Amino acid sequence: MDKRKMITKRPRMDNLGRGPITNGPMQTRPLVALLDGRDCSIEMPILKDVATVAFCDAQSTSEIHEKVLNEAVGALMWHTIILTKEDLEKFKTLRIIVRIGSGVDNIDVKAAGELGIAVCNVPGYGVEEVADTTLCLILNLYRRTYWLANMVREGKKFTGPEQVREAAQGCARIRGDTLGIVGLGRIGSAVALRAKAFGFNVIFYDPYLPDGIEKSLGLTRVYTLQDLLFQSDCVSLHCTLNEHNHHLINEFTIKQMRPGAFLVNTARGGLVDDDALAAALKQGRIRAAALDVHENEPYNVFQGEQRPLKDAPNLLCTPHAAFYSDASCTELREMAASEIRRAIMGRIPDCLRNCVNKEYFPSGGVAVGYPVMGHKMDNSVKREIHEGGYLSPSESIAMAFKVGAAAAAAEGMNGGYYAAAAAAAAAAAAAGGGAGGGGGAGGGGGAPGGGPPALPPPVQQAHSTTPHEVPPPRPEPPLPPHSLPLSSGPDPSNHHAQKPESSEVH
């Protein structure tokens, strides 16, 4: 049987939960879940040797399986689910969320960082597809191809130039018109270069770019949004969505646009106030508009009572598909899975390429296996990932002694000290090397007054030797199943070679 078909026919998460738990303390692989999808065929080849991959196919957080909430270390998600702080607190062991896409406005990234959960995106995918779609929409607005094609499909007859003139009323010449781009990131730059080839005079507004970038691209820069709206015959949005630019295009800013201008949005639906846009289209202040994104998705523009754009004329809508092609979707999912792999094999957040909430993290990097809060720690179940497999707390501390990193191994993500881990470390040191580990002649001893015991000293002092003796080497702990030494093959973090990435939201 075709392996690909076997992969895509994996059982649903609710069926997996009925059998034995496959990610318990006796297992070595962490659980990675696709929250709002079913197809893991591209992710599994990248993660199969370091994680167990499953899917939930959830449409909201209430549909996420309890097994995922309790055991998942990593999560992959599209844009269907919204994760608030309350939702994030339900995940007991989650350490990383990778948004399969660029926008992270459906995740509370600050709350995730404070909980020790890294949030990553994939900003470098689909640049060509979104830029091409944007130009396609602009050309449709200028040349009215979509509306003319519908007239032919509906059986309208054009018997002379008068009928053609009537049907094509509103078509405009492109050369010499001014295209205003809001946000000159990857996609905005790609749109600008394509638009110049059609004869557009391109201007842009982006307060975050350094001076001089316009000279390298041969563009004209304006320094206020008002200037861009006033000068542009067509406005194209390519900026992120945040608390500062929600409804960037509203009743007030529409009045600053040229009468009869075009509007295109392939960035984020929340940038446009639908009520204000509908009124402007009906009044003719905006000649035509094209939207690939909508404020509430999935969104049906033309059905339902609370749809301000339902009766708006000269409106072209597509279902948030500007990013899609077979090649871009494969590239996107490979990049997302590779970020999860880096998190499992490395140290969060330092090992990640596109972590968007690093500034909200507790101080220092975070090993995947350590919890955020002390009350969530269960030493009998939680295990640290090391060299591709799990180590129990005592094994982890002993391994840390060998590399001189005892302090880092005994601290959690929030810098808190775990007494149980330290006690296990002391016992391991005593069993392996004499009196040094348990408070003897060469050891660190316990903390007075019943407090947490002090960290055992480095391995050089953990053996009962004279100052001139060299301590005997410690035997290597056995590797757990499914784990391989890091030196036995290529760097697992480079499992799939990737193209250089940069940042833009889509």
| Helices 419-433 and 393-403, packing angle to 10 deg | 60
Q: Does the annotation count 268 as an active-site position?
A: yes
Secondary structure of residue 369 in the 3-state scheme: coil
Q: Report the candidate in 22, 103, 34 with the shortest Cα–Cα distance to residue 354.
A: 103
320 is catalytic: yes
The three-state secondary structure class of 227 is helix
Q: Which residues pair with 139 in a beta bridge?
A: none
Which residue's structure tokens are 């270390």? 73
Q: Is 458 exposed, middle or buried (0-12, 13-18, 19+ CB in 10 A)?
A: middle
Catalytic residue, candidates 79, 238, 268, 506: 268
One DSSP character per residue, 145-191 reads HHHHHHHHHTT----SHHHHHHHTTT----TT-EEEEE--SHHHHHH
Distance CA 30, CA 384 (A): 10
In angstroms, the CA 401 to CA 429 distance is 9
Residue 115 is classified by DSSP as T
Catalytic: 285?
no
**Choice among 99, 144, 258, 320 that is catalytic:** 320
Query: Tokens 């957040």 sit at which residue?
Result: 349
Q: What 3-state DSSP class applies to 374?
A: helix
**With contact defined as beta carbons under 8 Å apart, do 353 and 106 qualify?**
no
Contacts of 499 (CB under 8 A, 6+ apart): 124, 331
Query: Catalytic residues, which ones?
Result: 268, 297, 320
